[in-house]
């Protein structure tokens, strides 16, 4: 009886601290939004924070390490438990390793770490994929494959998730499962794979999405559209759940004009496709595609269709190998696959295609080109590969 009571006390303590048996904070994640070389959010789940809870952060340097202790912000995911704990990191340095642990009432978690992306002049990779909502076992299988790819390619910086993380964005139970499963992407040495989040139609207008991924309260970030700058690449994440015109379109026009003057690479990412393989075109085709073409966006990632697709380069509704924009998608991170109804559309002529296949994309950013590998989770087989050269003239 005493033994059972002792184990009950241990379980209760772990629940209150938010640590698992191996001192792994529950739902631990690093979230990136606008400038990950300078800013990041570390978040995890647990019960209400105590005064004795703080985060220990260490930056590894050539001549010793710099250390600091940071206070933790806590909010409820819903009107009930659990609590979401987070620390906003600012003034980080590019190409740096940041290690951290979480201390609560004298109990310290294992040490974890992440890398900030380089500013300019160094190669790196970013993973893309969406739609992980309906088949949990397949999602876990793909997360395991992503971890293996991450382990084999240490220049991977983050995963850009294209939305539809779960089936019902209002249900914490589904978020709890997704966040549990995402821990499978963490490497054995404690390195975390940061997330750049995108709102999909199954997140709907749920505020849990904003709390899970710690969105700021300013107008654009609260509306879930923003720029993430990786060195000389600007990634425009857009929200297909709200008006595509109006404020979002005006913002996109303004920032594309600015970034096209200063950045070598422009990439867009959103959920509902403009050039779909399954459904009818989303409103992005009317409101955003003309801006992509005007400012010479290099590449677009879409989700939602539950198939694998690659279009030919498209400019003003026609194939144009010089000026055109390629659209890749459409979500294969564990959702049940569909049959591409539009596979005979003109924009899927060779080298384009549309087919049912689980997948994720690996975008390698280099000084003189972008390279995209399409990876099958099954034994990390290479499905396709393509290269993009800098635009000679964006305007």
> Is residue 371 situated within a structural domain?
yes
Residue 257 has phi, psi (to 5 degrees) of: -60, -45
User: How far apart, in whole angstroms, are the C-alpha atoms of residue 356 and residue 340?
Assistant: 7
Q: What pLDDT score was predicted for residue 79?
A: 58
Q: Is residue 326 part of a domain?
A: yes
Please count the helices (runs of H) and the strands (runs of E) in the chain. Answer: 8, 24
Nearest 5°: CA angle at 137, between 341 and 336? 10
Total count of domains within the chain = 1
Is 58 in contact with 112 (CB distance < 8 Å)? no
Q: What's the predicted TM-score (pTM) here?
A: 0.91
Given this model, what pLDDT does residue 327 score? 99
Residue pair 267/236 in contact by the 8 Å Cβ criterion: yes
Residue 30 CA to residue 92 CA, distance in Å, equals 14
Does residue 105 lie within any of the structural domains? no
Residue 172 lies in a domain: yes
The angle subtended at Cα 133 by Cα 132 and Cα 137, nearest 5°, is 75
H-only helix segments in 168-283? 172-182, 207-212, 219-222, 246-262
**pLDDT of amino acid 221:** 66
Q: What is the pLDDT along the chain (395 residues), one digit of tens a residue?
A: 443 332 323 333 334 445 554 457 899 999 999 999 999 999 999 876 666 778 899 997 755 566 666 667 777 666 556 788 889 999 999 999 999 999 887 788 999 999 999 988 799 999 999 999 989 999 999 999 999 999 999 999 999 999 999 999 999 999 999 999 999 999 999 999 999 999 999 998 888 999 999 776 655 567 899 999 999 999 999 999 999 999 999 999 999 999 999 999 999 999 999 999 999 999 999 999 999 999 999 999 999 999 999 999 999 999 999 999 999 999 999 999 999 999 999 999 999 999 999 999 999 999 999 999 999 999 999 999 999 999 986 54
Q: What whole-number distance in Å separates Cα of residue 298 and Cα of residue 132?
A: 26
Give strand pairing partners of 236: 227, 268
For residue 47, is it within any domain?
no
204 C-beta neighbours (distance < 10 Å), count: 13
- Residue 78: both structure tokens together: 């819903």
Nearest to 197 by CA among 216, 221, 176, 213: 213
Give the domain CATH number at 231: 3.60.21.10
Tell me which residue range forms the domain holding 153: 124-388
Residue 70: Cβ within 10 Å count? 14
Distance in angstroms (rounded) separating the CA atoms of residues 160 and 126: 7
* 300 φ/ψ sector (left φ>0, alpha ψ -120 to 50, else beta): beta
User: Does residue 256 lie within any of the structural domains?
Assistant: yes
Structure tokens at 180: 């549990």
Partnered with residue 31 across adjacent β-strands are 41, 195
Taking a C-beta distance cutoff of 8 angstroms, is the pair 236, 273 a contact?
no
Confirm whether 146 is domain-assigned: yes
The pLDDT assigned to 365 comes to: 97
Does residue 258 fall inside a structural domain? Answer: yes
Instruction: For the chain, state the CA radius of gyration.
Output: 21
Q: Which two tokens stand for residue 21?
A: 């048996």
**SS3 assignment for 100-138:** EEEEECCEECCCEEEECCCCCCCCEEEEEECCCCCCHHH
Check residue 104 and give its pLDDT.
Answer: 82
- Distance in angstroms (rounded) separating the CA atoms of residues 344 and 351: 13
Secondary structure of residue 194 in the 3-state scheme:
coil
Please name the residues in contact with 200: beta carbons below 8 A apart, sequence gap of 6 or more. 130, 131, 162, 163, 164, 165, 240, 241, 271, 303, 304
Task: Say which residues have a Cβ less than 8 Å from residue 137's Cβ, sequence separation at least 6.
Answer: none
For residues 358 and 293, give the distance between their C-alpha atoms in angstroms, rounded to a whole number.
29
């Amino acid at each position: 009886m005493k033994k059972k009571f002792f184990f009950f006390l241990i379980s209760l303590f772990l629940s209150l601290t938010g640590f698992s048996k191996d001192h792994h904070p529950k739902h631990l994640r690093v979230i990136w939004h606008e400038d990950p070389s300078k800013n990041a959010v570390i978040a995890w789940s647990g019960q209400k924070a105590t005064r004795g809870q703080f985060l220990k952060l260490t930056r590894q340097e050539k001549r010793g390490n710099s250390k600091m202790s940071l206070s933790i912000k806590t909010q409820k995911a819903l009107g009930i438990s659990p609590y979401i704990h987070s620390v906003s990191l600012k003034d980080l340095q590019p190409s740096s390793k940041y290690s951290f642990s979480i201390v609560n009432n004298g109990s310290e978690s294992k040490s974890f770490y992440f890398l900030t992306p380089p500013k300019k002049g160094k190669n790196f990779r970013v993973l893309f994929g969406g739609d992980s909502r309906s088949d949990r076992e397949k999602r876990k299988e793909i997360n395991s494959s992503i971890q293996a790819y991450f382990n084999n390619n240490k220049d991977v910086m983050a995963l850009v998730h294209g939305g539809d993380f779960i089936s019902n964005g209002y249900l914490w139970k589904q978020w709890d499962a997704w966040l549990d499963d995402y821990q499978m992407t963490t490497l054995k040495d404690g390195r975390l794979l940061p997330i750049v989040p995108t709102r999909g139609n199954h997140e709907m207008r749920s505020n849990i999405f904003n709390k899970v991924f710690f969105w700021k309260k300013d107008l654009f970030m609260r509306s879930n559209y923003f720029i993430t700058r990786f060195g000389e690449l600007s990634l425009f994440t857009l929200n297909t759940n709200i008006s595509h015109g109006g404020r979002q379109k005006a913002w996109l026009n303004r920032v594309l004009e600015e970034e096209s003057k200063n950045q070598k690479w422009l990439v867009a990412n959103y959920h509902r496709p403009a050039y779909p393989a399954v459904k009818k075109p989303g409103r992005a085709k009317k409101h955003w595609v003309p801006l992509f073409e005007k400012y010479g966006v290099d590449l677009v990632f879409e989700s939602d269709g539950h198939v694998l697709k690659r279009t030919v380069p498209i400019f003003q509704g026609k194939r144009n190998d010089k000026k055109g924009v390629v659209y890749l998608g459409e979500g294969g991170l564990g959702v049940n696959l569909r049959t591409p109804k539009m596979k005979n559309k003109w924009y899927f002529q060779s080298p384009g295609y549309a087919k049912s296949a689980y997948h994720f994309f690996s975008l390698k950013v280099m000084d003189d080109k972008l390279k995209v590998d399409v990876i099958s989770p099954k034994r990390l087989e290479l499905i396709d590969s393509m290269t993009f050269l800098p635009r000679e003239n964006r305007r």
